[in-house]
Amino acid sequence: MVIDLSRGHLPSSWTMFSPTFVDVAIFIGTIGFFFVLFLLYARTFPVIAQAELKSILKSSGENYKKLRGDNHE
């Protein structure tokens, strides 16, 4: 059996692909789902604990004010 090469045999190569509304919605939904999961992860497991960060900023801020002599309170 001889197969000619004048036309591709895959349906995807017959015409130019144009996405439908469903294709675009699935793509945007996938990106949105990724960002929701990423933000939930960042909220649950922050890189630096907020309580630790607040105590560090509070102590370093007071020490810095004492060294500079700023007493504007």
Residues in the chain: 73
Q: Are 7 and 14 in contact, with CB atoms under 8 Å apart?
A: yes
Collapse the DSSP code of 61 into the 3-class scheme (helix H, G, I; strand E, B; otherwise coil) and give the result: helix
The pLDDT of residue 58 is above 60: yes
pLDDT the model gives residue 51: 75
pTM summary value: 0.50
pLDDT band at residue 5 under the 50/70/90 scheme: low
Could you give the angle at the alpha carbon of 49 between the alpha carbons of 70 and 67, nearest 5°? 15
* Residue 39 identity: L
